Structure formats: structure tokens, C-alpha cells
């Protein structure tokens, strides 16, 4: 199977390549694709070095699947051209997520909605993936009415330039700035650009993508997204209001039985999810599970996941695995 990774030189692109190896994806040929300025660079894949090619060259080679992680502008310009050649495109940008004709997929939740005709498939935002993975089974059982979300998001979500800024500030070097303010020993209530309603794009992604994935436009959602000086994963404090009441023990059992979710909630041993322990893992970790005593049928959760893995690369590769198994090899 011929696989293209578009944006192969970026943080997520490199993580996708790493996961294709780790998960033994059936590749006969890997195409490493990037912008013209990166053409000719070499990327290590298994025991070989693969030379980076441009987008036009990649389209001409007609890959079976193209995993895009090169930004929305690139996706809007090139995804349909790959699809016209019969290539399945798994896109990690926001370009197609809210397109009514495109599926927004977290495989554990809604991969079965995909059909052979879905040639462009949207990968959700990192903070959305871990949220809906933890909430999907709870929504089916108790019917979510309202969500109040506060995120604590790793600098890795802003790419290598953000990691460089954090490292420069920590080491006292000349700072190459990604953010408007210092991030070292600081928190920025500013993830992505501000919109006209006063919310950031990141906050609105949590609102809109969650409703689409859960197929629940009636859920009321509000969010605040915060960038923190962490390398390893995104954390979320989530207050959930259900239509129906719940027994806490039953709810915890339901979470623990959810594919891709690990419950870490042993307060006597100070066990709860943290980005430092989630880093490098594919599961979404849920803890601090407790009733909100201020309102009926309400719950508080703490949700953590490695945003480069399940929040981006792993989810994309899982979609590619589903496509491979159901639409290409069948």
C-alpha cells in the first residue's frame, strides 16, 4: 500500500511516521511530502531514508491514502486533487471538519459511519478528541445537557516554534517568539486567534466539533482554552450536566469500559491523570471523577491525553487503518 504523509517534516507529520512503524501499518511505499522549501530533505523510515517530495509529485504518484498535517490552506488547495485520483485523504487541519459533506471521525466512536465514498475524512481537533472519547458512552447512557470546559494545553499544540520559545525562555537565550507573551512560568488564556464573539477558534472548535461527533446539536457548551508551559499533553477540567441522574460507581465502570479510555482515580495514592505520565501513550486518561454538589445531575472530570498522539497522529493513523481494512483491502 502506498501511503503519503503530507507535512512530513512537522511535529505531527513525524509522529505519524513513527506511529505507522509502531503499529505495523501495511506500507509498501512511503511518500514523505512537504512544501517546496523542504523538498530533497531526508526522513528516516525503518532502515531507510526517504527523500521529501512536493505535493504535485505526490499527487502524480496516486497514493492509496494521504495523511495530511500541513495546515488548512494546504488541505483546501490539495485534498480534493488527491481525492480525484481515488486517494483517501485523512486531514488533520480544521479545513473540512465542519463541512456538512465530510465525516469528522474518532474511530472508537463513529468510524462505522464511514463509507467507501468518503474520500476526504476530517480528523478532529486535539482537545476535542480526548473530550468526546471520555464523554461518548456517558452521553448515550445519561444524555448530556450542558458542558463547561476549561483546557490546559501543551505548547506542543502550537508546533516546534512554540517549543523553541519555551526552551529559549527557560534557558535565558534570545527568544524566538511564537506567542504574544512569555509562556515560561506563565499561562496564556489565548489558544488560536480570537473571533468576533470574544472566544478563540480553539474554544469554538470544542463547541462545534463536539456537537458534530456526538450528533448532538442540542448540547449547550462553553469553553475557555489556556496555553500552559507543558510538553506532553493537554488537560481538561470538564463540568457535565446530564438530563438523567447517575450512580457514580456505575458511571466510573462505564468510563473504564470505554475503548481508548483509562481511569486513573485513586485519591488515597495520589493517582490522577497528568500530562507528564500521559506523554507517549495513546489512551485518554480520566480522573478526579466526582459529583458537582452545586447542581443536580452534574459531574466533574479531569481528562488528559498526549495531544500529538491520540490528539492528532494516532487518531489519524487509526482512521487510515479502518479505511485500509474496510475499503482498500476488501
Identify any residues that bridge with 200 across adjacent strands, giving them in sequence order.
194
Q: Which of 312, 227, 233 is nearest to 280 (CA)?
A: 233
Active-site annotation holder among 32, 139, 191, 234 = 234
How far apart are alpha carbons 145 and 130 in whole angstroms? 19
Beta bridge partners, 48, equal 45
Which among 316, 329, 328, 330 is positioned nearest to 105, based on CA atoms? 316
For the chain, how big is the Rg over CA atoms in Å? 20
**234 counts as catalytic:** yes
Active-site residue identified among 126, 139, 191, 298? 126
Say how many residues make up the chain: 330
98-121: b (≥16 Cβ within 10 Å) or e: eeeebbbbbbbbbbeebeeebbbb
Report how far residue 208's alpha carbon sits from residue 124's, in angstroms, rounded to the nearest whole number. Answer: 10
Three-state DSSP at 157 gives helix
| Helix orientation angle between 11-22 and 314-323, rounded to the nearest 10 degrees | 50
Burial class (CB in 10 A: 0-12, 13-18, 19+), 222: middle
Contacts of 176 (CB under 8 A, 6+ apart): 161, 164, 165, 168
Provide CB contacts within 8 A for 328, sequence distance 6+.
Answer: 1, 64, 65, 88
Pairing, β 120-122 against β 103-104:
parallel
Q: Which three cell numbers stand for residue 145?
A: 445537557
Residues identified as active-site: 126, 234
Amino acid at each position: 500500500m502506498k501511503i503519503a504523509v503530507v507535512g512530513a517534516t512537522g511535529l505531527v507529520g513525524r509522529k505519524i511516521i513513527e506511529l505507522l512503524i509502531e503499529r505495523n501499518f501495511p506500507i509498501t511505499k512511503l511518500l514523505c511530502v512537504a512544501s517546496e522549501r523542504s523538498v530533497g530533505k531526508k526522513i528516516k523510515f525503518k532502515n531507510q531514508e526517504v527523500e521529501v517530495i512536493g505535493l504535485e509529485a505526490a499527487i502524480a504518484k496516486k497514493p492509496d491514502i494521504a495523511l495530511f498535517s500541513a495546515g488548512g490552506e494546504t488541505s483546501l488547495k490539495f485534498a480534493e486533487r488527491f481525492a480525484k485520483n481515488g486517494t483517501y485523504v485523512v486531514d488533520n487541519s480544521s479545513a473540512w471538519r465542519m463541512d456538512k459533506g465530510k465525516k469528522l471521525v474518532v474511530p472508537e466512536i463513529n468510524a462505522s459511519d464511514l463509507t467507501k465514498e468518503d474520500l476526504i475524512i476530517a480528523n478532529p481537533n486535539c482537545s476535542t478528541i480526548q473530550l468526546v472519547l471520555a464523554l461518548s458512552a456517558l452521553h448515550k447512557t445519561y444524555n448530556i445537557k450542558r458542558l463547561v470546559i476549561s483546557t490546559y494545553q501543551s505548547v506542543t499544540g502550537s508546533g516546534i516554534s512554540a517549543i523553541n520559545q519555551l526552551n529559549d525562555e527557560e534557558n535565558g537565550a534570545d527568544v524566538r517568539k511564537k506567542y504574544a507573551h512569555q509562556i515560561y512560568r506563565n499561562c496564556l488564556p489565548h489558544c488560536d486567534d480570537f473571533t468576533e464573539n470574544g472566544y478563540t477558534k480553539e474554544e469554538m472548535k470544542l463547541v462545534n466539533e463536539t456537537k458534530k461527533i456526538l450528533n448532538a446539536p442540542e448540547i449547550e457548551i462553553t469553553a475557555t482554552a489556556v496555553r500552559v508551559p507543558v510538553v506532553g499533553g493537554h488537560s481538561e477540567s470538564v463540568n457535565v450536566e446530564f438530563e438523567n441522574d447517575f450512580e457514580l460507581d456505575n458511571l466510573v465502570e462505564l468510563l473504564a469500559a470505554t475503548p481508548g479510555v483509562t481511569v486513573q482515580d485513586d485519591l488515597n495514592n495520589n493517582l490522577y491523570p497528568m500530562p507528564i505520565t500521559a506523554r507517549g501513550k495513546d489512551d485518554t486518561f480520566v480522573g478526579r471523577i466526582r459529583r458537582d454538589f452545586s447542581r443536580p445531575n452534574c459531574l466533574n472530570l479531569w481528562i488528559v491525553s498526549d495531544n500529538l498522539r491520540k490528539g492528532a497522529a494516532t487518531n489519524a493513523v487509526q482512521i487510515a487503518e479502518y479505511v485500509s481494512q474496510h475499503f482498500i483491502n476488501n
